[in-house]
Amino acid sequence: MALVMEQPELDTEAMTIEAASGDALLPVLLPNAGGEAVVNATEAEKSEEVRGLLAAIRRLENIVEEETAALATGQKIDFDDFSARKSRSMLEFVRLMRARMHLGAEVEVTEEIQRLREKLERNRSLLEMHYDAVREVASIIVKAIKDAESDGTYTGRTTQDGK
């Protein structure tokens, strides 16, 4: 989709010549009354694009908020489901942004993207904390299994009989 700057069209056939006695004759351009309809149609199309982009951003925000709330409250989480949903929604958002780069300067779009960024950062932080906890529990389990399987042959002797 090409970006076209609309300018009011001038109806050159509607030029009139204003003349006062003894003054130079200068043409006067009258605007084409239909030019505003073109501008309004362009604004409506742009408004529709903005609404579509904002809807995609909000869908992604809702998924991120849902996962963040589940992580924060300790609910059971289907990470595969959240990952797939976030990936699909992020793909939709990226495709829309690439196709409508000219909307990136819209204040409402910019504000919504900033809110999404903040929510993604909070989500990332909670996911990282969750991952660190899982890694720590896994290392404790691995150590316990190694200790249980070891007969002590290759490890240093522990103090026996209180020595």
What is the DSSP annotation of 40-103? HHHHHHHHHHHHHHHHHHHHHHHHHHHHHHHHHHT----HHHHHHHHHHHHHHHHHHHHHTGGG
pLDDT at 40 over 80: no
Q: What is the pLDDT of residue 67?
A: 96
Q: Using one digit for the tens of pLDDT, what is the confidence trace for 61-75?
A: 999 999 999 999 989
| Whole-structure pTM value | 0.60
123, exposed or middle or buried, with CB in 10 Å at 0-12, 13-18, 19+? buried
Q: Which residue has the higher pLDDT, 36 or 82?
A: 82
Spatial neighbors of 100 by CB under 8 A, at least 6 apart, are 1, 49, 53
Q: How confident is the model at residue 89 (pLDDT cuts 50, 70, 90)?
A: very high
- Bridge partners, 16 (sequence order): 28
Comparing 29-43, 69-83, 133-147, the range with the smallest average pLDDT is 29-43
Comparing 30-39, 47-56, 110-119, the range with the smallest average pLDDT is 30-39
Q: What is the pLDDT of residue 96?
A: 87
- Residue 116 and residue 60 in contact, taking contact as beta carbons nearer than 8 Å: yes
- Residue 102 and residue 47 in contact, taking contact as beta carbons nearer than 8 Å: no
Q: How confident is the model at residue 38 (pLDDT cuts 50, 70, 90)?
A: very low
Residue 113, CB half-sphere, CA atoms under 13 Å: how many? 15
pLDDT at 119 over 90: yes
Mean pLDDT of the chain: 76
Locate the domains of the chain by residue range: 36-142
pLDDT at 98 over 80: yes
